[in-house]
Structure 1
Amino acid sequence: MASYVKEVYENLDRRLATASVTAFALGLLVRGFLVSGKHGQIVASPLSTLLPKLSTDEHKNLPYPPDSLPGARDVQSPYGSIRVYEFGPETGRKVLLVHGISTPCLALGGIAHQLADKGCRVMLFDLFGRGYSENPADLPHDIRLFSTQILLATASSPLPWHRFSIVGYSLGGGISAGFAAYFPHNIESLVLLCPSGLIRARHFSRSNRLLYSEGVIPEPLLLRLVKRRLKTPLYPPKAPKNDGKIGTEQAVKAEVPIESNSTAVLSRKHPDVTIERAVVHQVDHHDGFVSAFMSSIRYGPIQNQHELWGRISAELAQRSSESGANAKLLIIAGDRDSIIDATELREDATAVFGDHLHFEVVSAGHDAPIVKAVEVSNLIWQSWN
């Protein structure tokens, strides 16, 4: 009897061991299917994966030439290389410009040139996974990563950037506000252009919530689906019925001015470049862009930022009390913006900032800083003077 019981337990142990090994192997297989597997991996930018292979003529015809803006440098960091541009009078007001979710910093080239003409020292950089910046693919693209990138970019300057004005566009607005909330003593003034941060939940469709929920759809499949969707809207589509929902197509298309983009001069050295061609090229040739875009949708400062914005309001109130003048935040919105509803933004921002809010509306869509660079830069300059 004892030997029989022993045999039963030995058989049971073998079966349990086999089942455990099988389950572990299956778990690894499923995990590899659901997760991108880029832990600790930095995805290179076209600066190293594409440009060395191009001929002289192909270099000249790049949609986003590396010398599009003055003062280019590549900052090496533990998070990957960061493309930075810095130009304008060295003694001028320091202004950092932070671009949106789908474009390289070239999108703010028009405003940067305008502010430099007015005597400002401007700095722009490509967010991780965009333009010529690499992508730390294993890290969430949240306010922690974006704040670190700002600190790395400003620390790379030969000039002191201990205190500066920050101008953020779209996702860059949410990033800039978050940075200002955590580092108020570094910020002289804050300007938000069609900013994310307070987008109401009703604008996000159920399908897109599902699409960007981590672990629901296998990651490799999701990367392919999103890449396909990112490429589709970059050509003039039929006008869809506007149901107030924000999808992938709208998020990208809104930053890509299909109409009149030939008149938006972003680079004075290469006046023919357009943000539309630059984004198409980025989707096709930056291996880290799609995953960076997806991570920014999942973890970026897009909505529910009321607590951080409240910190900024408290800082403005304190500055007003100390100076005797009413310190204000400038927000500029487009009256035809399909992503950031100007009326809702004014209501929600007023609820947070009260009398410390200066709100302007220009006749444009979400691409206002691109196609109305002169008007927007003039409004910024007037608010500072």
Structure 2
Amino acid sequence: MAWFYQATDFLTDSLVNQQTRISLLVVTGASFALGLLISLCLSSGSPRQDKILASPLTMLVPSLSDAEKKALPLPPDVFPGSRDVATPYGSIRVYEWGPEDGTKVLFVHGITTPCLALGGIAHALADRGCRVILFDLFGRGYSDAPSDLPQDPRLFITQILLVLASSPLSWTGIGSGRFCLVGYSLGGGIAAVFASYFKELLSSLVLLAPSGLLRDSRINIQSRLLYSHSLIPDALLNFLVAWRLRSGPLVPRDTNGKTVGADDALVQELPEPALDPVELLSKAYPKANIREAVSWQVRSHAGFVHSFISSMRHGPILQKNELPSWRRLGKVLTQQQNLSPKEQQAKGLRSGKVLVMCAKHDAIIPKDELVEDATAALEGNVEFRFFNAGHEFGSTKADDIALQIMEFWDQTT
């Protein structure tokens, strides 16, 4: 695959140097032709792709002994209260535990990791009396992946509503107390869009390094080429991304404020190896860590690569696509400020503000840009907290995050 990366490197240089436009066209055409040929070879004679790409829960786990299941990097019972929710989009893996009368908190994880990444925060809040729900986004962990639908905000919002409907408790009805929605990275972008439509279901909104306001200038040209809908055939793109993921260790890199690409989105949610044991993500499996779980997921989940690519293309990531949702949320929060305290309790987020947590050394979501853009889009109806960490802080600063969330609640009760 060296030819591919050499070609994309050359394409990048060509876009910068206006004098090499002819070379760019030649290389692009050659790359496309070769890519199309490889794509046809890869797909020739293969059966029609299933609409549902099954998770390891169906494809792997049934063949394992109990001991082998417990030895997996992501054991099926990694959290308490597991259930599998059958839906038209495939099965969704959900975990729910904590006091039934506790403050309700729903978590949405990022683009690469399964929900294990937010286990530390969930345990910390459950230990303090909260009722928590974690679930795997489509194509991650033990959730299936629909292959015939884009992984866009509409699909993710539908998934959240299906998860809520599957609970034996009422999370949205009269007397439910509503729920706090916590989203991390891609999950933060999903949570912001959800809140812009369904804020009356929420008691509070907490966003950890959220996507959705990433400036287009932050995405490097190579990734724009890689995820173009027309330049590279889907079968070839799936093959290349899978090859990249399985060809070596997934190690975060220092971007030094430069543009970022798909590789960065893949790995920046992963802590540095030395940080893996810092936070306890699963009480049942104290040695469970994100890096091993993601590597296993890449190898074992038939729908992961498809889901990652689809989320990169269609998910709530770039400001140019998602700014209207953020502005809609900001507008309704401003309108809420004119309501009486009783009306605010009944109709909107109890604080009238969104809590956004940022990492000072985030290579994906730059702190200064996020503060500026979120403040403007939400019309100032936002509070910020900062952590001396990188993008992975959702799993490495779990207890501190839980305390900050509870302090935020205390300010608004």
Q: TM-score, normalised by structure 2?
A: 0.82
Q: 2:278 aligns with which of 259, 263, 287?
A: 263
Q: Is the 8 A contact 2:121 2:402 kept in 1?
A: yes
Structure 2: distance between partners of 1:92 and 1:140 = 35
Query: How many aligned residue pairs are there?
Result: 356
Output the amino acid matched with 1:379. Answer: Q
Structure 1: distance between partners of 2:267 and 2:48 = 28
Residue 321 to residue 240, structure 1, CA distance change in 2 (3 Å)? closer
1:134-155 CA distance string (max 9 Å, x none):
0001100001100000000000
Query: Who is 1:8 aligned against?
Result: none
Structure 1 residue 172 displacement after superposition = 0.1
Query: Who is 2:372 aligned against?
Result: 347
Matches within 5 A, 1:82-101: 82-101=92-111
Q: 1:318 aligns with which of 313, 328, 335?
A: 335
- Where structure 1 has 5 or more consecutive residues not aligned to the other structure, the ranges are 1-28
Query: Who is 1:81 aligned against?
Result: 91
Query: Who is 2:265 aligned against?
Result: 251
Q: 2:326 aligns with which of 280, 298, 309?
A: 309
SS of aligned partner of 2:305: helix
Q: Is the 8 A contact 1:33 1:219 kept in 2?
A: no
Structure 2: distance between partners of 1:133 and 1:355 = 37
Residue 202 to residue 100, structure 1, CA distance change in 2 (3 Å)? same
Query: Who is 2:184 aligned against?
Result: 169
Query: Who is 2:352 aligned against?
Result: 327
1:291-316 CA distance string (max 9 Å, x none):
00000000000012211111111222
Residue 38 to residue 248, structure 1, CA distance change in 2 (3 Å)? farther
Q: Is the 8 A contact 1:43 1:288 kept in 2?
A: yes
Query: Greater shift after overlay, 53-62 or 321-330?
Result: 321-330
Does 2:144 match 1:134? yes
Structure 2: distance between partners of 1:166 and 1:37 = 40
Does 2:52 match 1:42? yes
Structure 1: distance between partners of 2:151 and 2:314 = 6
Structure 1 residue 264 displacement after superposition = 2.0
Structure 2: distance between partners of 1:177 and 1:219 = 29
Structure 2: distance between partners of 1:108 and 1:368 = 10
Output the amino acid matched with 1:355. Answer: G
Percent identical: 50
For the pair shown, the structure with the greater C-alpha radius of gyration is: 1
Structure 1 residue 235 displacement after superposition = 4.1
SS of aligned partner of 1:86: strand
Query: Who is 1:226 aligned against?
Result: 241
Query: Who is 2:82 aligned against?
Result: 72
Structure 1 residue 228 displacement after superposition = 2.2
Q: TM-score, normalised by structure 1?
A: 0.88
RMSD across aligned C-alpha pairs, in angstroms?
2.2
Structure 1 residue 37 displacement after superposition = 8.5
Output the amino acid matched with 2:382. Answer: L
SS of aligned partner of 2:378: helix
Structure 1: distance between partners of 2:360 and 2:318 = 20
Does 2:200 match 1:188? no
Query: Who is 1:378 aligned against?
Result: 403
